[in-house]
Structure 1
Amino acid sequence: MVIIALAPKASFPSQLRQAIAALAYLLAQGTKASNIVLVGDSAGGNLILQLVSHILHPMAGLPPPPILSKPLAAIVLVSPWTSYSDDYRSFKHQQTSGNK
Structure 2
Amino acid sequence: MRQNSEKIVIIGAGFGGLHVARRLAKSEHQVMVIDGHNYHLFQPLLDQVAVGDLESNAIASPLRPLLRAPNIRFHWGCVEKIDSNENKIHSNTG
What's the TM-score bracket when you normalise by the shorter of the two chains? 0.3 to 0.5
Greater helix proportion: 1
Taking structure 2 as the reference length, what is the TM-score of the superposition? Answer: 0.32
